[in-house]
């Protein structure tokens, strides 16, 4: 499949998005540029199809995990004025929409699900800031971005080291990276990424990883680990359980670490530190 580009109307971003467009013309997604093994390719397609199916209802139902993530990650977002930011695996553009108003020179979201991007494109604040491409083969020049956010996506990617290398390529020295995903302890308790629609319930393939495993992958790609944080559901999420008619599940769910957040910084000169806070 080829990649489609939605160009920004903002004058500051036009040249940058045109650069992306010309890059994509010679880098078709799903061709020889995509080097996944057959099993990886199969996983990739299954995840894409699942999110295509989820897209029409993704924004329609309150999600306690998204509520918790947004509540906690806000304090970790760096000053974005004049910076270039990337929302990796942006989905319907939830974070891109929130961050685009913070004065970034360039804000762009990338995802492979055409259906998710279709929903995102309808949001005025991010229209024209979306790129359809493979997160493991990013259509950007080296040292492009100052800040990257990757929300609930790492677990869907089997080759995490490959993704980390690609992010290391497009991140500038000193760039900040924030990732979030289902906590491995929650995964052990049976929590899964999935949804239910008119066709029934579906679970999306996920690989649970510890904080140490994630840190090692990004360390090898030139990122310093600044911190890992475990996030727990709290009282602000209780009404969402009540609204869904699952009040009895809140107490049990709130006793399990729900989300693992990792904070990295791109090291200079290819060096990185394993230290964590």
Whether the per-residue pLDDT at 84 is higher than 90: the answer is: yes
**Which distant-in-sequence residues (6+ apart) come within 8 Å of 39 by Cβ?**
158
Whether the per-residue pLDDT at 37 is higher than 50: the answer is: no
Residue 14, pLDDT score: 40
Closest CA to 215 of 206, 227, 205, 207: 227
Distance CA 14, CA 20 (A): 10
In tens, the pLDDT along 201-240 reads 989 989 999 999 999 999 999 999 999 999 999 999 999 9
Whether the per-residue pLDDT at 36 is higher than 70: the answer is: no
Distance CA 149, CA 166 (A): 14
Closest CA to 130 of 7, 248, 228, 272: 7
In tens, the pLDDT along 13-35 reads 344 333 333 333 323 223 223 33
Strand partners, 227: 263
Task: Tell how strand 145-151 and strand 84-88 pair up.
Answer: parallel
Residue 271, pLDDT score: 54
Whether the per-residue pLDDT at 277 is higher than 70: the answer is: no
Residue 268, pLDDT score: 81
Mean pLDDT on 160-183: 97
Mean pLDDT on 179-184: 97
In tens, the pLDDT along 99-151 reads 999 999 999 999 999 999 999 999 999 999 999 999 999 999 999 999 999 99
Residue 150, pLDDT score: 98
Tokens of 207: 């690989």
The answer to whether the CB of 176 falls within 8 A of the CB of 263 is yes
DSSP letter, residue 79? P
Task: Please give the mean pLDDT across all residues of the chain.
Answer: 84
Residue 62, pLDDT score: 87
Q: In 167-195, which positions are buried (b, 16+ CB within 10 angstroms) versus exposed (e)?
A: bbebbbeebbbbbbbbbbebbeeebebeb
The answer to whether the CB of 183 falls within 8 A of the CB of 259 is yes
Residue 274, pLDDT score: 52
Tokens of 272: 């990185």
**Which distant-in-sequence residues (6+ apart) come within 8 Å of 255 by Cβ?**
none
Whether the per-residue pLDDT at 76 is higher than 90: the answer is: yes
Measured in degrees and rounded to the nearest 5, phi and psi for residue 41 equal -65, -40
pLDDT bucket at 272, cuts 50 / 70 / 90: low
- Whole-angstrom CA distances from 17 to 77, 138, 157, 221, 244 are 24, 13, 26, 26, 41
% of residues, the chain, pLDDT over 90:
72
Q: What are the E-state strand segments in the chain?
A: 84-88, 106-111, 130-132, 145-151, 171-182, 194-197, 200-203, 223-232, 257-266
């Amino acid at each position: 499949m080829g990649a489609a580009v939605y160009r920004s109307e903002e004058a500051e971003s036009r040249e940058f998005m045109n650069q992306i467009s010309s890059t994509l013309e010679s880098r078709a997604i799903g061709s020889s540029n995509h080097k996944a093994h057959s099993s990886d390719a199969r996983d990739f397609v299954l995840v894409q199809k699942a999110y295509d199916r989820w897209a029409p209802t993704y924004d329609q139902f309150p999600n306690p995990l998204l509520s918790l993530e947004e509540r906690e990650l806000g304090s970790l977002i760096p000053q974005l004025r004049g910076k270039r930011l990337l929302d990796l695996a942006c989905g319907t553009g939830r974070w891109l929409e929130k961050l685009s108003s913070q004065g970034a020179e360039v804000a762009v979201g990338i995802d492979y699900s055409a259906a998710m991007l279709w929903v995102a494109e309808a949001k005025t604040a991010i229209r024209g800031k979306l790129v359809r491409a493979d997160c493991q083969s990013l259509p950007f020049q080296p040292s492009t971005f100052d800040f990257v956010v990757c929300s609930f996506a790492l677990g869907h990617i089997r080759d995490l080291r490959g993704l980390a290398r690609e992010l290391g390529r497009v991140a500038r020295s000193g760039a900040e990276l924030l990732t979030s995903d289902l906590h491995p302890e929650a995964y052990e308790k049976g929590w899964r990424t999935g949804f239910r629609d008119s066709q029934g319930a579906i679970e999306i393939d996920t690989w649970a990883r510890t904080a140490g495993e994630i840190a090692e992958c990004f360390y090898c790609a030139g990122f310093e680990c600044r911190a890992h944080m475990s996030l727990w559901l709290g009282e602000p999420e209780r009404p969402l359980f009540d609204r869904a008619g699952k009040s009895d599940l809140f107490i049990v769910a709130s006793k399990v670490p729900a989300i693992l957040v990792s904070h990295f910084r791109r090291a200079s000169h290819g060096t990185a530190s394993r230290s964590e806070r």
